[in-house]
Amino acid sequence: MKLSVIGCGYLGAVHAAAMAKLGHDVIGVDTDASKVAKLAAGEAPFHEPGLPELLLEGVASGRLRFTTDIAEAADAQVHFLAVGTPQSADSDSADLRFVYAAVDALRPVLQPGALVAGKSTVPVGTAADLAERIATTGAGLAWNPEFLREGFAVADTITPDRIVYGVTDPAHADLLDDVYRVAIDAGTPRITTDLPTAELVKTAANAFLATKISFINAMAEIAEVTGADVTTLADAIGHDARIGRRFLNAGIGFGGGCLPKDIRAFTARAEELGRAESVAFLRQVDAINLRRRERVIDLAVEMLGGSVFEKRIAVLGLTFKPDSDDIRDSPALDVAARLHGLGAEVIATDPYGIENSRAKHPQLEYIADTEAALDGAELAVLVTEWDEYRGLDAARVAGLMGSPRIIDGRNVLDVAAWKQAGFEFRGLGRH
């Protein structure tokens, strides 16, 4: 089937490459010419495991092309909309500028019978508005939210755990079934519903995940003043299948281009709908999350005798999670910048996040080599749980540092082993 993907960022580039892998004829469209040039050469413009191979294969096969010219997408049967919906500069609402610009650019080339399938995360009600906007073209509109996780984006796209369509016409669901035939034949659950439910499924899923993380971080706050251990607590409650252990990792909290902005956009949309109180708890979810970063700063100040001023601090990790180069709303980078703001001599390191971090915070010092970053540091702060940091040898690190002090902001290190190696060790909700 001929498909287009409008917007080729973390979501769209993976979607385009995965659809070509499934045998479709795909054209990716993006307004960013340098991104398009890279993608067209089979190069991933960001770090995502498995994506480079898929891009090379797709481009070589001729089934995957990229362009800045939306007219080249005119003959696609399904146009996936995957442009960004960031937080607005001056409010909590989603900035829908890119969505409307993409639909307005697409409208003149839309063929009757084609389908626009929205994948971007949007406030409930957006899809119906877009459907009206393209009504005169004879093309249809469906909402097909995306649940992929960065770091696992390729597998999540090719073998999703569920597929959701919001449609106004059953024929649109049939068309999308043809797109996702491989997954559907493999038994992937598929939920067909109306437009607002499909939009809300996505918002609700991210709100739930954020709530689960803030719940365990709230327990970490209580553990910190009672001597309890939040990791043992998570293991114990997680054995209850109704709760589940996944997404109960306490630490410096959630970041990224999605969970933080999505809960804020949901709150803003609920206010517009006169239902602010229904999701008022999401303000607490956000507040708990942001407090965890403060906690790391407070611990650093405390461990360094009341001030971090002119103290050499190694910050291990910059991206919002491992296996990604994404630093959008990253708690790790935020901690590094705040420590620097307090006058610390911050040496930051990360396997894939340095380039993006330097562009945002050029004032920080970056070193690619982990051991060089730790060299002579009076405190190490682990804030992104890359395997490389999980596997650090405590005795070796102690030998590199000026004084063996560490804050494990992701609760991934073996407390006893690090203490035994002579470290002053602080976790978040662990002792």
Ligand X SMILES: NC(=O)C1=CN([C@@H]2O[C@H](COP(=O)(O)OP(=O)(O)OC[C@H]3O[C@@H](n4cnc5c(N)ncnc54)[C@H](O)[C@@H]3O)[C@@H](O)[C@H]2O)C=CC1
Write the binding mask 306 to 335 for ligand X: x where contact by CB under 6 A, - elsewhere.
Answer: ------------------------------
CB of 312 to ligand UGA, least distance (A): 26
If one asks whether residue 259 binds ligand UGA (CB under 6 A), the answer comes out as yes
Write the binding mask 122 to 151 for ligand X: x where contact by CB under 6 A, - elsewhere.
Answer: ------------------------x-x-x-
Q: Name which of 376, 375, 353 is nearest 364 in CA terms.
A: 353
Largest CA distance in the chain: 71
If one asks whether residue 148 binds ligand UGA (CB under 6 A), the answer comes out as yes
Q: Which of ligand X, ligand UGA, none sits in contact with 18, Cβ below 5 to 8 A by type?
A: none
60-89 residues in contact with ligand X (CB under 6 A) are 82-85
Write the binding mask 120 to 139 for ligand UGA: x where contact by CB under 6 A, - elsewhere.
Answer: -x------------------
CB of 392 to ligand UGA, least distance (A): 18
If one asks whether residue 320 binds ligand UGA (CB under 6 A), the answer comes out as yes
- C-beta closer to ligand X: residue 164 or 392: 164
Write the binding mask 37 to 76 for ligand UGA: x where contact by CB under 6 A, - elsewhere.
Answer: ----------------------------------------
If one asks whether residue 163 binds ligand X (CB under 6 A), the answer comes out as no
Dihedral angle computed from the Cα positions of residues 241, 246, 247 and 249, in that order, rounded to the nearest 10 degrees: 110
Contact range with ligand UGA by CB under 6 A, out of 247-255, 266-274, 304-312, 342-350? 247-255
If one asks whether residue 209 binds ligand UGA (CB under 6 A), the answer comes out as yes
Given the residues 258, 313, 344, 412, select the one marked as catalytic.
258
Helices 230-238/195-226 angle, 10° precision: 130
Q: How is residue 232 written in tokens? A: 């043992």
CB of 212 to ligand X, least distance (A): 17
Q: Which of ligand UGA, ligand X, none sits in contact with 12, Cβ below 5 to 8 A by type?
A: ligand X
Q: Using the rule CB under 6 A, which residue among 107, 247, 342, 376 binds ligand UGA?
A: 247
If one asks whether residue 211 binds ligand UGA (CB under 6 A), the answer comes out as no
Q: Which of ligand UGA, ligand X, none sits in contact with 249, Cβ below 5 to 8 A by type?
A: ligand UGA
- Residues 233 and 212: their CA atoms lie apart, in Å, by 14
Q: Which of ligand UGA, ligand X, none sits in contact with 213, Cβ below 5 to 8 A by type?
A: ligand UGA
Dihedral angle computed from the Cα positions of residues 368, 370, 371 and 374, in that order, rounded to the nearest 10 degrees: 100
If one asks whether residue 11 binds ligand X (CB under 6 A), the answer comes out as yes
258 flagged as catalytic: yes
The number of C-alpha atoms within 13 Å of 63 and in the hemisphere containing its C-beta is 19
Catalytic center residues: 258
Contacting positions for ligand X (CB under 6 A): 6-12, 29-32, 35, 82-85, 98, 101-102, 105, 120-121, 146, 148, 150, 257-258
Contacting positions for ligand UGA (CB under 6 A): 121, 146-150, 206, 209, 213, 247-249, 251, 253-256, 258-259, 320-321
